[in-house]
Amino acid sequence: MASPKGALFTALVAIICIIAGLGGGWFIAWNQARGEVEALRAQVAELSKRLAAVEAKPPEVAPAEKIKAAWIYVGPVEDYGWTYGHDRGRRYVAEVFKDWLETYAVPKVSGAECLQVIDKLVAEGYKVIFATSFDFMDATYKAAEKYPDVIFFHCSGYLRRQNMGTYFAEFYQLYYLNGLIAGALTKTGHIGYVAAHPTPEVIRHINAFALGVKEVNPEAKVYVLWIHAWYDPTKARELAETLINKYSCDVLAFTEDTPTVVEVCQEYYEKGRPVYAFAHYSPMLKYGPDVCVSGQLVHWEVIYADILMKIKLGIYTNTNLENVDYWWMLREGAVELGCDYGVPINPKFIPVLKNIIVEKEIMLPNGTVVKNPSVYDLVFIRLAQMMEESPTFDPFTGPIYDQQGNLRVPPGERLGHDALWTMDWFVDNVVGEIPKGGGA
């Protein structure tokens, strides 16, 4: 700066930064050294405590009291997607376990607010906390360290601790089944996918869907466009219309937290141009009675009931959760095939699907061989196979090639949990790119 005082000011700012930084650095070093001493001290204290415990009498059993459980949501309860599904699960357990369970939900919490919200909840006496957004992972972990007596469960993350477990209801089996139907229904051979964020979860769902398409219709392609948001009905509508008009797609699947894509398809149907769609997370038949064929529905309550029951029975405590990771699918009943609860396939489409034959032979586990089943039968055969105690079918069974023609899964092999969790490639009948950057 030209003026000396301006320069002086800039210099002062710099000096303050440096002093604060040096102070901070010194503090960390000092803290680390102190930390080691503290650790030793804690060890000694722990050992003497154990010694005392051996000598003391066993503790008396506390009288049964209500368990207070709180849910933290990222969105509004009315989103009819992700948060709605979790709240439906909460209301279910609140009703079923009302004798011993008290629940409360805090909606619209951002990742930055999560820790202070947990502080408040713990102060209010909540002993079990469900954090239902990936963005809450770090804050939940910090809170779990801070409150070792409280049990935490984080949905969709990977950090675990002795008092923090993780859970997720996984949809890929259903996306595969939807893919079978989509491949049968398409006339143009072009199927669209309106996708949210390019995360491994969404990529895995697109791939499962495309593998289903391929099984009944090897020529068909799946065209993918990205919204770059979990919730953006405007952009979802725009991309759905682009897929219909520019890519001549006549079946659409999607990952977005509203029924928008189903609504768009219903509008096109009423204009005399049928485009079919699948429900996502919540029943969407009523938004597209003529176009919503099937879909994937979630039953978080199955997972919540299991977790809370095990906490009540003392199976889960604040010291044994470091390996508790729910990755629940069809077999456990955490997810359901359907455009509405109890409606796996919209009755309007059953005759059509029964008329389309898939040329292949399927060996059932009991030894019977089904020859050239209809698509309708194929869907239910696969559904039954994937619901078995140890599923006799999985969509991600080799040989599977990626878009570049590389063999990703050797013949006969199945992809495991870790490979599915980190998936960053598309199967060969997907058209579209996985963006390297997030910007739209």
Partner 1 sequence: MKWIKIRLERVYEAPIWLQIFVAIFSLAVALMIAAFIFLAHGIDPVSAYAKIFHDSFLTEHGIEFSIVKLIPLLLCSLGLIVAFKANVWNIGAEGQLLMGSVAATWIALYGMKGYPSWLIIPSMYLLGFLAGALWAFIPAILKAKFEVNEIIATLMMNYIAMKIVEFLIYGPWRGATTWRYPITDEFPIEARLPLIPGTSIHWPTLLISLALVPLVYLLLKETKIGYEINVYGLNPEAARYAGINKTKVLAFVMIISGGLAGLAGVGEVAGIHHRLRYPWTISCGYGYTAIITAWLARLNPLVLLPVTFFFGGLLVGGDVIRIDLQLPISVVYLFNGLILLSLVSSELILRYRIKVTLVGGAGR
Residues that bind partner 1 (CB under 8 A): 1-3, 5-6, 8-9, 12-14, 16-18, 20-29, 31-32, 76, 104, 106-108, 110-113, 115-117, 119-121, 123-124, 134-135, 138, 158, 197-200, 228, 421-424, 435-439
Report the SS3 class of residue 64: coil
Min CB(256)–partner 1 separation in Å: 17
Angle, vertex CA 42, rays to CA 41 and CA 48, nearest 5: 95
Would you say 335 and 387 are in contact if contact means Cβ atoms under 8 Å apart?
no
Query: How many CA atoms within 13 Å lie on the side-chain side of 15?
Result: 6
Task: Extract the tokens encoding 434.
Answer: 């996985």
Distance, CA of 204 to CA of 206 (rounded, Å): 6
Query: Cβ closer to partner 1: 104 or 247?
Result: 104
Q: Nearer Cβ to partner 1, position 23 or 399?
A: 23
Q: Which is nearer to partner 1, 108 or 354 (CB)?
A: 108
Least separation in angstroms between CB 24 and partner 1:
4
CB of 352 to partner 1, least distance (A): 38
CB atoms within 10 A of CB 7: 11
| Residue 52 φ/ψ, nearest 5 degrees | -65, -40
Cα–Cα distance for residue pair 311/213, rounded to 1 Å: 42
Q: Smallest distance from the beta carbon of 13 to partner 1, in angstroms?
A: 7
- Contact between residue 151 and residue 128 where contact means Cβ atoms under 8 Å apart: yes
- Find the shortest distance in angstroms from Cβ 226 to partner 1: 10
The answer to whether the peptide bond before residue 399 is cis (omega within 30 degrees of 0) is yes
Closer by beta carbon to partner 1, 21 or else 399: 21
Nearer to partner 1, 153 or 349 (CB): 153
Rounded to whole angstroms, how far apart are CA atoms 293 and 355? Answer: 16
Shortest distance (Å) from residue 328 CB to partner 1: 18
Q: What's the distance, CA 163 to chain centroid?
A: 21
Q: How far is the CB of 54 from partner 1 (least distance, A)?
A: 32
Query: How far is 118 from 155, CA to CA, in rounded Å?
Result: 15
Least gap, CB of 354 to partner 1 (angstroms): 40
Of residues 184 and 420, the one with the C-beta less far from partner 1: 420
Q: For partner 1, which is the closer residue by CB, 61 or 123?
A: 123
Give which of 366, 365, 364, 390 is closest to 378, Cα–Cα.
Answer: 364
